[in-house]
């Protein structure tokens, strides 16, 4: 496992306390798992993706990740409608381990775009991890 100082935590995205990241892409928000989450899980072997068109509230469970160590739930950092899923992960879940910030999981049309601003900055997320 990586030391906290070794984690890749880009500054241009936001983080949730559940170890998901969110990045704006026009009027949608792409979401994935942080480098910390993928490091803790180990080798990811399966991703359960939600259906396109499904709607969730902020913090709702929307899928699961299965690794060689455990099964972990994923929670939406912002509420809204799933407008796209990264179907590449169905055949290649290891993409989340290789580059968790390129291997996004879902794209969300937010019901309240202000929820994005409530997420943690890189520094706030890093401070949370150090606690």
**In this predicted structure, what is the pLDDT of residue 100?**
97
Q: Return the HEC string of 46-83.
A: EEECCCCCCEECCCCEEEEEEECCCEEEEECCCCEEEE
**In this predicted structure, what is the pLDDT of residue 33?**
98
∠ CA 98-57-34, nearest 5°, is 20
pLDDT per position in the chain (131 positions), as tens?
899 999 999 999 999 999 999 999 999 999 999 999 999 999 999 999 999 999 999 999 999 999 999 999 999 999 999 999 999 999 999 999 999 999 999 999 999 999 999 999 999 999 999 99
Query: Between β-strands 55-56 and 80-85, what pairing exists: parallel, antiparallel or unpaired?
Result: antiparallel
| CA 72 to chain CA centroid, nearest Å | 12
Q: How far is the C-alpha of 9 from the C-alpha of 90, rounded, in Å?
A: 25
The helix or strand, by DSSP H or E, that contains position 31, with its residue range, turns out to be: strand 28-33
**All domains of the chain, ordered by start, with CATH?**
4-130 (2.40.50.100)
**In this predicted structure, what is the pLDDT of residue 89?**
98
């Amino acid at each position: 496992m990586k030391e906290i100082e070794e984690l890749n935590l880009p500054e241009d995205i936001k983080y949730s306390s559940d170890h998901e990241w969110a990045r704006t892409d026009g009027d949608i928000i792409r979401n994935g798992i942080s480098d910390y989450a993928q490091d803790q899980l180990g080798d990811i072997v399966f991703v359960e993706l939600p259906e396109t068109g499904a709607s969730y509230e902020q913090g709702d469970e929307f899928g699961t990740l299965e690794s060689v160590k455990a099964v972990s739930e994923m929670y939406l950092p912002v509420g809204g409608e799933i407008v796209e899923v990264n179907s590449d992960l169905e055949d290649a879940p290891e993409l989340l381990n290789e580059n968790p910030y390129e291997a996004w999981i879902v794209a969300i049309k937010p019901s309240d775009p202000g929820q994005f601003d409530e997420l943690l900055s890189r520094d706030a997320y890093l401070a949370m991890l150090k606690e």
